[in-house]
A and B are shown apart, each in its own frame.
Chain A
Amino acid sequence: MITAARLAAEEGANSPLLPHTYELVVGGFAFFVVLFVVGKILTPRIQKTLAERTDAIEGGLKRAEEVQDEAKRTLESYRAQLAEARHEAARLREEAREQGAQIKAELREEAQAEARRIIEQAHAQIEAERQTAFAQLRVEIGRLSTDLAGRIVGESLEDEARQRRIVDRFLEELEGAGSEAVR
């Protein structure tokens, strides 16, 4: 009887359609562990990566185009800057040339003015020296005249009238030449 009952129980336990309790627990445990690790932790990661990949592929072309546009824009702006720089350089060169020419002209004018000034100064100095020399000469001539007169008076009194004429003439000539020289 006991054996029969145990057999029946075993038969029941062994029926393939009746679940073992511990296997239910193990199965449930396994499922929820996998669900947690694979479903909750890992699946979002691969989803993120797949989304990124799609984005990388789809967005790649667009981004490349954008980058190319950007490059083109940059190149154009560089070209414009370069042209501007060239223009500026040309302008500066022209300006420099003009300024150089102007400076040259100014310098020349100045130099000429300076030369004129020096020449004038020289003239003035020469005139002054000439004046001085004439004044000295005049004194000398007077002295010489007096000397000469003395000598004439002293040596030949016999021809007094002739001598006087000579002196007078001499003095007149001297006077005429002196006034001309002074002037």
Chain B
Amino acid sequence: MSTLTLLASGDEFKAPGLELFEFPPIISGVPWFTKPVLVALLSTLIVLIFCWSAFAKPKLVPRGVQNVAEMGYMFIRDQVARPFLGKDADRWMGLLLSLFFLIWVWNLMGVVPGIQFPVVSHIAFPFVLAASIYVLKLYLGFKHQGFFGYFKNMMFPPGLPKPIYVLLAPIEFLSNMIVAPFTHAVRLFANMFAGHIILAFFSLVGFWFLFENLTPLGAPLGVLGVVMTIGMTLFEMFIQFLQAFLFAMLAAMYIGNSLHPEH
């Protein structure tokens, strides 16, 4: 447990740590029903309602929610699906759009007042998503390139001098089979995890030095904490969007590589 302590007027300021991510069951006796689970399910419901109200009866001339959701669709199609999947883009839009919307809303929960918990800062959630993409990637790779063809295309890309393969093959294998799914999940998780700690830290600084323990010396620090909280919240919102986008983009890249081997 990392602890950062600051001395301020005798009382000890204790920076928030891992306890930020620990929640007791909401109903005692139902151990699985904790705040992260509740927020995860709530976010899912929000995504479903949002998408349903936007796309259930789409109009040729979009209005209201459909306009907003279509912007999301266009963004994913033009920035994620088409560059990586080309003509297969439309077939995988459903998966990529689901990933993007679900992760983004899960992330956004980190800055929604009163909820303030990014769901994917619990690694189980990004892990499930990354694992699903991993399984899909292998399945598509085997299906489109054959079992051995898949590994051959992965580890022995043509057109390189022979000795290179001694080095390249294990690296490629490791990178594609182990590192990629791991980083896929952990990148998302770590960003949200760190972001949550940073937000909690700055807001606690503000709260501590302005309300809990107001001193002439500590007050400017408290103001700085509030300013930083606001700034970091804006930055965090950008990161939340970026990570959702990045996760979908990597998924598209993995799928694209399985459908059509590189090189």
Contact = CB atoms under 8 A, between A and B. Distances in A.
Interface of A: 14, 16-28, 30-31, 33-35, 37-40, 42-50, 52-53, 56
A25 B128 CA distance: 8
Contacts of A16: 18, 21, 121-123, 189, 193
A40 B122 CA distance: 27
A47 B128 contact: no
Nearest to B123: A19
Contacts of B21: 14, 16
A18 B124 CA distance: 8
Contacts of A39: 93-95, 97-98
Contacts of B101: 34, 38
Interface in B116-168: 121-125, 127-129, 132
Contacts of A22: 31-32, 37
Contacts, number: 119
Interface string B221-234: 00000000000000
B44 A47 contact: no
Interface residues of B, number: 46
A24 B120 CA distance: 11
Interface of B: 18, 21-22, 31-32, 36-37, 40-41, 43-44, 47-48, 51-52, 54-60, 69-70, 73, 90, 93-95, 97-99, 101-102, 121-125, 127-129, 132, 186, 189, 193
Contacts of A48: 58
B55 A42 contact: yes
Contacts of B22: 14
A19 B102 contact: no
Contact of B37 (A14, A18, A23, A33): A23
B41 A30 contact: yes
B97 A38 contact: yes
A45 B56 contact: yes
A38 B128 CA distance: 18
B124 A27 contact: yes
B94 A43 contact: yes
A47 B52 CA distance: 14
A14 B52 CA distance: 36
B55 A23 contact: no
B36 A23 contact: yes
30 contacts: A14-B22, A16-B18, A16-B21, A16-B122, A16-B193, A17-B186, A18-B123, A19-B123, A19-B127, A24-B128, A26-B32, A27-B124, A28-B128, A34-B98, A34-B102, A37-B48, A37-B52, A38-B94, A39-B94, A39-B95, A39-B98, A40-B94, A42-B51, A42-B56, A43-B73, A43-B98, A46-B55, A46-B73, A47-B90, A49-B58
